[in-house]
Amino acid sequence: MIRNLVLVMVILGLVSSCKNDNQNQSDYTQVSVLETGQEHPGKKLMEVNCYVCHSPTAGHDSRIAPPMIAIKKHYLTDGISKAEFIKNIQSYVENPNEADSKMPGAVKRFGVMPKAQYPENTVEQIADYIYDYDIEQPEWFDDHFKEQGGKGHGKQNGRGMQNRNKQQASVSDSTLTYEEMGLKYAMNTKAELGKNLMGTIQKKGTLAAVEFCNIKAYPLTDSMAVVNQAKIKRVSDKPRNPNNQANSSELVHITKFKEDVAAHLEPKPIIEETDETVQFYYPIVTNSMCLQCHGKNIEPEVYKKITALYPKDKAIGYIENEVRGIWSISFDK
């Protein structure tokens, strides 16, 4: 029952990203999408992969990274071709560093973005969408941009201007498949956890992030469950908190996701239905940020804190792009 958009939504990693083969996206071309009047695939890829940090709804003072519209305005310089624009975005995502950044103000405020591995086609589709289409922006952005002297030459208008309402329109739950609904709940929760976790890391360091997870992760997840009217869990075969131990059914799905990711296959949500409910499963895949607390070379002081808070911890020894656990989400039909 997978519909049109799920193939491009299922690329993810807590604050995670997948270094996957792109073969499953090869037939999802921009031309076929636009000709059928459907949404550009880069839009949802941007929402899934970028909005954890670059959310258009976060306030100016509380955000942890610039909004995507700011990135567009600094990279879409006068006369730049789409190919150059995409190449510049890809180059920086592959190797984020202060010297090559076109946004020194953002680097000064937020620091250099963490390096994360994304499939090349994912970044290409996102950049393609940003180049051509109007993208959502915070209410405060125009005034802020003017106050900064309008630095950056990019403009919001693209050849997709006529599709602005369609591209920016919120997707009603009634139009979503069960896979898309599950991904929405997972991504919303991931974004809330990721925003708070990364904000703690940036302001107080990794040691404080360990304590944040110990105190705040469960309440934040529970609050998102209430908001989404769903039961939301993050479970693992190697849990840090014993309360996150996967049950027998979840362990089977974790094994399947591990096999897919190891084989460089794009992970797809697993859906199980009853007459009244839907059970959704999707992998949580490690990235470089995760390894600060879940990797093989954890700082001694951080590891000491982890063992103090979690004496039965099993969630270490990972490398990038490994399945650390899964989202296990149930909701009513």
Q: Which pLDDT tens digit goes with each residue over 83-94?
A: 999 999 999 988
What pLDDT band is residue 115 in, cutting at 50, 70 and 90?
Answer: low
Whether the per-residue pLDDT at 35 is higher than 50: the answer is: no
pLDDT recorded at residue 24: 39
pLDDT value at position 212?
84
Q: What pLDDT does 333 receive?
A: 92
Which range (121-130, 162-171, 276-285) has the least confidence? 162-171
- Is residue 201 within 8 A of residue 64, CB to CB? The reply is no
Asked whether residue 330 carries a pLDDT value surpassing 90, the answer given is yes
Q: How sure is the predictor about 280, in pLDDT bands with cuts at 50, 70 and 90? A: very high
Return the pLDDT at 94. Answer: 85
Query: DSSP letter at 38?
Result: P
Domain map of the chain by residue range? 39-170, 177-332
Judged against a pLDDT cut of 70, whether residue 2 lies above it is answered with no
Tell me the average pLDDT across 171-191: 78
Start-to-end CA distance of the chain, whole Å, equals 14
Q: How far apart are CA 279 and CA 330, in angstroms?
A: 4
**Mean pLDDT over all residues of the chain?**
79
Residue 287 to residues 31, 84, 117, Cα–Cα distance (Å): 32, 27, 7
Cα-Cα-Cα-Cα torsion 301, 53, 5, 41, nearest 10 degrees, comes to -120
Selection from 141, 140, 118 nearest residue 50 by Cα? 118
48 touches 222 (CB < 8 A): no
**What φ, ψ does residue 269 adopt, rounded to 5°?**
-60, 150
- CB within 8 A of 248, min separation 6: which ones? none
Highest mean pLDDT among 68-72, 116-120, 236-240: 236-240
Which of 29-43, 60-74, 140-154, 213-227 comes out lowest in average pLDDT? 29-43
Measured CA to CA, the distance from residue 180 to residue 60 in angstroms comes to 29
Q: What percent of the chain has pLDDT over 90?
A: 38
pLDDT at 302: 94
CB neighbours of 89 closer than 8 A, spacing ≥ 6? 71, 75, 123, 126, 127, 130
Pick the residue with more confidence: 137 or 303? 303
Contact between residue 178 and residue 278 where contact means Cβ atoms under 8 Å apart: yes
How many CB atoms lie under 10 A from the CB of residue 5? 21
Residue 8 has pLDDT above 60, yes or no: no
